[in-house]
């Protein structure tokens, strides 16, 4: 499984990633940014600089990953998007192994 969220700073994004890896909830994370996010909030168009976090986890752990991210997150309504992916057999085995 893949999951994605954003944070207001690289430091906060990396803090979340380290926490998830320490707890062995994800096999790998990737932080990219800064990115510019545009969205409608309380009737206003907002543009914010953010850092994107992509996470790779087994389907069995994705609920635990979501709970951990939501507890660590600074936003009132954090982005949380997941999708199933295909991987090479060796990489998929590594992600699903629990590390």
Q: What is the pLDDT of residues 26-54, one digit of tens each?
A: 999 999 999 999 999 999 999 999 999 99
Instruction: Quote the distance between the C-alpha of residue 83 and its chain's center.
Output: 12
**Rounded mean pLDDT for each run of 10 residues along the chain, 99 residues in total:** 98 98 97 97 97 97 97 95 95 86
The pTM of this model reads 0.91
pLDDT on residue 99: 60
List domains and CATH numbers for the chain: 2-96 (3.30.70.120)
What angle is formed at CA 55 by the lines to CA 49 and CA 59, rounded to 5 degrees?
145
């Amino acid at each position: 499984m893949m999951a994605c969220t954003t944070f207001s700073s690289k430091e906060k994004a990396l803090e979340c990633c380290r926490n998830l890896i320490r707890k062995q909830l994800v096999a790998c994370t990737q932080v990219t940014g800064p990115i510019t996010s545009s969205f409608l909030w309380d009737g206003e168009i907002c543009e914010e600089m953010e850092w994107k976090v992509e996470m790779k986890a087994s389907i069995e752990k994705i609920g635990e990953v979501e709970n951990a991210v939501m507890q660590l997150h600074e936003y009132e309504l954090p982005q949380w998007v997941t999708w199933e992916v295909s991987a090479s057999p060796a990489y998929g085995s590594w992600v699903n192994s629990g590390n």
